[in-house]
Structure 1
Amino acid sequence: MARDGGDEFDHDVETAVVTGATGSVGPWIVERLADSGVHVVGVDLERPDGERANAEFRAVDLTDQGEAWETIHEADPDAVVHAAAISGPLDDPGTRVFENNTMSAYNALVAAGRVGADVVWTSSQAAYGMLFADDPWLPDYLPVDEDHERRPEDPYGTSKYCGEAVAGMVARRYDVPVTTIRPATVYAPEAYRARPQREGFDLESGSLSGNLWSYVDVRDVARMVEAALAADEEGHETYLCVADENYLGQPTAEIIESVAGELPERCDLEGEQAALSNAKAKARLGWEPAYSWREADDTASPGIGWR
């Protein structure tokens, strides 16, 4: 049963810049923070229609260093949440994906470091390399954790790999806390994306999925952002953001072994446990997933009229 996700993480952020504010994840972060009383400066390529309490919006090209730095400097935020990226890597040329994501991450994170802001940003499970590989491969062990080697084979995953290197550099150079969140495949609760595709899946004829049938609800991503802002940590830390279970409703190890023909030598999966581990986030951030595909809410939305 999904919890209501109404728990609050005690942070002292008064002003936050949220990039990608009109994208697929950003609006949920804006809503979460604004509802908690944070003044949000939302940034995206275009300003949205309408207004939102506790929020203002600016049209900024984050690949332009001057625009990015000027905007963040003027906002003088306590925190910068960088969620902007080209997230549909199969729909854009690889060069555009890589350049946009690496430059925007560099400009936003460095600007945040220069003003002394806490940083949270969204990387991706694609940094491991399985998600968009031409031939999905088995990880070295299961469940995959934050320490698993990253071997990206595509421009999107490589851009996130580079972004994580930038995150570490910013934490060291500017002595600010930087949290990297690696979400599994993100699903929103609207009707057309409420549940991951599972109809018609057959163990006998199925093929290995690059996401290993792991997922996370977008509202849980927003909750982890807030949890990271409330954490008393130093340096650069990375957290997988993933639901507890796979989205097929079958034992995970059996699924993987059936379609791949084998399992890694080290496999510690039990039942429907997700193939990506959220144990570190639970232990360090006090975060647990509150939403499941089994209880999709078709009416949920950021409720801001401009998404």
Structure 2
Amino acid sequence: MSETIVVTGALGGSGRWIVDDLRDDYRIVAVDRTLPEATNVDDVDFRAVDLTKQGPVWQTIIEADPTAVIHFGNIPHEEDHAGGHVYENNAMSTFHTLEAAGRVDADIVWASSETVYGTHWPEPELPEYFPVDEEHPPRPWNGYETSKLAGEAAADRVTNAFDVSVASIRPSWIQYPGRYEITSIREAFDLESARRFGNFWSYVDIRDVVSLVRAAIEIDFDGHEVFNAFGPDNFLGVETTTAIEAGYGSLSETCDLSGEESAFSTAKAESILDWEPTHSWRTAEDEAIADPSFV
């Protein structure tokens, strides 16, 4: 019988791609706030659960008895939610999900955020150094960013209390093949009039996020590890340092970037998980690839 994996946020933009990738190899318990119109999908058991409620979360995960829990069931921004609500929702749902996973000895992969580095402030500032790696000090500004750091603290708590591993993934702005949202930004970019851009024109293809999630559940490591998830390059088609200097007026004192490489390092994921991004906007932007069909 196949191993079971619980995926929260299973009907969301990332969750559906994760479920679709894993369902051929695992039995999936797909958790979201509501059920999809069709639930007769091979090897996928859909459950409607409010992740902010401890009882239903624990019941679902304990009954599933999974080998891994993948948690992407958070509010992804503050664009249409008050910051306090976002914080409360994300911090509580992450704590309940990770706690239940630890209690059933399930390894965990969950979505933190690149925004914890503090480069998305209303007036974005330069980081202490380039490329930005997982050791860079976090500088949260709003409720969303703070909720992600609360989740990472919950990950520390779970690995301290239970013999499980936790991968906290900090993904960049996730893009979907054939409908990249970066296109209009790149086409309008001009070095003479460039302004600051919160993540230094970084992005990540959903397929690279999915492959990182798979690597994190299939490759053994101990404790709680944080991994950046970024595409291999910036999405402008100009040298990264040139774009940063144009938008910010200077570079960080320590800067080791070459060509169009991303301003954020993924070397840690390559070292521990044997993962590196393989999808560039240059080909993925116009790829005709359908979204997962089960929702």
SS of the aligned residue for 1:197 comes to helix
Q: Deviations over 1:184-209 (max 9, x none)?
A: 11111143648473111112212111
Distance 1:269 1:69 in 2: 45
SS of the aligned residue for 2:204 comes to strand
Q: Is the 8 A contact 2:68 2:108 kept in 1?
A: yes
Q: When the two structures are superposed, what TM-score results if normalisation uses the length of structure 2?
A: 0.96
Residues 256 and 13 of structure 1, relative CA distance in 2, 3 Å threshold: farther
Distance 1:212 1:281 in 2: 20
Alignment match, 1:245: 233
1:211 aligns to 2:199 (yes or no): yes
1:149 aligns to 2:120 (yes or no): no
Q: Which of 74, 80, 103 lines up with 2:63 in the alignment? A: 74
Instruction: Show the 5 A alignment for 1:39-78.
Output: 39-50=27-38, 51-78=40-67
Distance 2:59 2:108 in 1: 17
Q: Which of 86, 108, 117 lines up with 1:128 in the alignment? A: 117
SS of the aligned residue for 1:43 comes to strand
1:229 aligns to 2:241 (yes or no): no
1:137 aligns to 2:125 (yes or no): yes
1:13 CA displacement: 7.4
Which stretch has the larger CA shift, 190-199 or 95-104?
Answer: 190-199
1:170 CA displacement: 0.5
SS of the aligned residue for 2:98 comes to helix
Distance 2:179 2:220 in 1: 37
Residues 196 and 111 of structure 1, relative CA distance in 2, 3 Å threshold: farther
Q: Is the 8 A contact 2:182 2:235 kept in 1?
A: no
Q: When the two structures are superposed, what TM-score results if normalisation uses the length of structure 1?
A: 0.92
Letter of the structure 2 residue corresponding to residue 41 of structure 1: V
Alignment match, 1:283: 271
1:216 CA displacement: 0.3
Q: Deviations over 1:29-64 (max 9, x none)?
A: 1011113x2000000000112232211110000000
1:100 aligns to 2:89 (yes or no): yes
1:173 aligns to 2:169 (yes or no): no
Residues 305 and 34 of structure 1, relative CA distance in 2, 3 Å threshold: closer
SS of the aligned residue for 2:35 comes to coil
SS of the aligned residue for 2:75 comes to coil
Distance 1:276 1:95 in 2: 29
Which stretch has the larger CA shift, 186-195 or 93-102?
Answer: 186-195
The runs of 5 or more residues in structure 2 that have no matched partner are: none
Letter of the structure 1 residue corresponding to residue 132 of structure 2: V
The runs of 5 or more residues in structure 1 that have no matched partner are: 1-11
1:303 CA displacement: 2.6
Alignment match, 2:14: 25
Which stretch has the larger CA shift, 296-305 or 142-151?
Answer: 296-305
SS of the aligned residue for 1:150 comes to coil
- Would you say how many aligned residue pairs link Structure 1 and Structure 2? 293
Alignment match, 1:8: none
Residues 13 and 227 of structure 1, relative CA distance in 2, 3 Å threshold: farther
Over the aligned positions, Cα root-mean-square deviation in angstroms equals 1.6
Distance 2:183 2:73 in 1: 24
Which stretch has the larger CA shift, 41-50 or 294-303?
Answer: 294-303
Q: Is the 8 A contact 1:119 1:177 kept in 2?
A: yes
Residues 261 and 100 of structure 1, relative CA distance in 2, 3 Å threshold: same
Q: Is the 8 A contact 1:118 1:176 kept in 2?
A: yes
Distance 2:182 2:251 in 1: 30
Q: Deviations over 1:110-166 (max 9, x none)?
A: 0000111010101010111212x1111100000000000000101111110111111
Instruction: Show the 5 A alignment for 1:108-119.
Output: 108-119=97-108
1:15 CA displacement: 0.5
Aligned-pair identity in percent equals 48
SS of the aligned residue for 1:191 comes to coil
Residues 237 and 74 of structure 1, relative CA distance in 2, 3 Å threshold: same
Alignment match, 1:5: none
